[in-house]
Structures are given as structure tokens and as C-alpha cells.
């Protein structure tokens, strides 16, 4: 016969410790997985922000370079600086600085001088090339009148991430040809 008086239903101390230990292990694993997910998300967000900043800077300069009025308006430009004098009289210039910034000056907008467009440009690996009628690079100082287009070659870096963007800008007023005296 069984003694029913001594039989108690419930868990022993060892069983409770084992359950708490198992829950603790699963909790620690879950916390680790969540921490890794947050790190991955943060990294992807930072990478996307970097790519967006690089593309935005590049395409802004490329778009505004197409507004150039005439080849003489490139006067003062170099492989690290682009002066733009648009048809409406706006003066915009961009300069790649050796502190890895692109600085923008724009007389269309009040208080927009020395504005940092980006601080992620690689100074040593980024250039503005001026291209002549035959598609070859020309010297902007000695062959100013021969400029027909621009080629932008920009390297952007952010820690261990990098992106290189290249593209041609064809200023509208340069590919039509020279204005006749009665058009000016």
C-alpha cells in the first residue's frame, strides 16, 4: 500500500533550478540575437546614409554643371574646383578640399557660402576632368575655349566603406555651339 499522507504534488528544488537555468540560457541567447540584429540594422542604416550622401553630392554637382553658360565661365576652375556661371546669372562653385570636404558657394541662396556638401570625399582619388570636342582631357587653363563637357570621377570613403562615382556632365550651352553675336 502506498502512503498517501507523505505524497505531495509540486516541483522539487532541483527541478525549479533546472527550469530557471534553461529559461536563463534561452533569455541570454535571445538577448544576443537581438543585439546582433540591432548592430546589423544600424550598420545597414549607416551604409545607406553614406551611399545617399555620396550620390546626392555627385548628382547635384553633375546637374548644376550642365547649367554652365559658356566655356569662359570655367575660368578659375581646376581639377579640384568647378566654377559655374549659369544662364540666369547664378554663380555656383564647388571645391574639393584636402580635408576631404566638398565646399559649395551659391549666390542664389542667402548664407550658403562655404557650405559643406559632404565630408566623405577622398581628396587624392577625386578629380574633375575637362573634356574637349574629340573626347580627350584638356588643360583647363590653356585650352579654356575648347571645353565641351566635364567628367567627374569621385571616390567617397566612410571608414571601411567606399564608393566610386563617375559620370559626364554635358553643359547645355556648350554642346549647342557658340552663340552668334546677335544671341548674346
Nearest-angstrom CA–CA distance, 153 and 136: 15
* Prediction pTM value: 0.77
The reported pLDDT for the residue numbered 26 is 95
Nearest-angstrom CA–CA distance, 20 and 68: 72
The reported pLDDT for the residue numbered 3 is 56
The reported pLDDT for the residue numbered 171 is 84
Q: One digit per residue, pLDDT tens: the chain, 184 residues?
A: 555 556 567 888 999 999 999 999 999 999 999 999 999 999 999 999 999 999 999 999 999 888 887 888 888 899 999 998 877 777 889 999 999 999 999 887 777 788 999 999 999 999 999 998 888 899 988 888 888 889 999 999 999 999 999 999 988 766 555 555 554 5
Nearest-angstrom CA–CA distance, 153 and 119: 16
86 DSSP 8-state letter: B
Strands (E), the chain: 81-85, 91-96, 102-106, 115-118, 127-131, 137-138, 149-158, 161-169
Q: How many helices (H) and strands (E) does the chain have?
A: 2, 8
Task: Name the grid cell of 108.
Answer: 542664389
Amino acid at each position: 500500500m502506498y502512503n498517501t499522507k507523505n505524497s505531495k504534488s509540486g516541483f522539487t528544488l532541483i527541478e525549479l533550478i533546472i527550469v530557471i537555468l534553461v529559461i536563463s540560457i534561452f533569455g541570454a541567447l535571445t538577448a544576443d540575437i537581438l543585439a546582433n540584429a540591432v548592430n546589423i540594422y544600424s550598420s545597414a542604416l549607416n551604409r545607406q546614409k553614406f551611399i545617399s550622401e555620396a550620390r546626392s553630392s555627385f548628382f547635384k554637382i553633375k546637374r548644376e554643371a550642365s547649367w554652365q553658360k559658356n566655356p569662359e565661365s570655367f575660368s578659375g576652375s581646376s581639377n579640384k574646383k568647378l566654377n559655374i556661371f549659369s544662364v540666369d546669372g547664378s554663380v555656383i562653385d564647388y571645391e574639393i578640399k584636402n580635408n576631404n570636404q566638398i565646399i559649395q558657394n551659391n549666390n542664389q541662396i542667402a548664407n550658403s557660402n562655404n557650405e559643406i556638401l559632404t565630408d566623405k570625399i577622398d581628396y587624392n582619388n577625386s578629380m574633375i576632368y575637362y573634356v574637349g570636342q574629340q573626347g580627350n582631357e584638356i588643360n583647363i587653363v590653356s585650352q579654356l575655349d575648347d571645353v565641351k563637357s566635364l567628367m567627374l570621377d569621385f571616390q567617397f570613403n566612410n571608414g571601411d566603406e567606399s564608393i566610386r562615382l563617375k559620370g559626364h556632365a554635358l553643359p547645355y550651352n556648350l554642346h549647342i555651339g557658340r552663340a552668334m553675336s546677335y544671341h548674346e
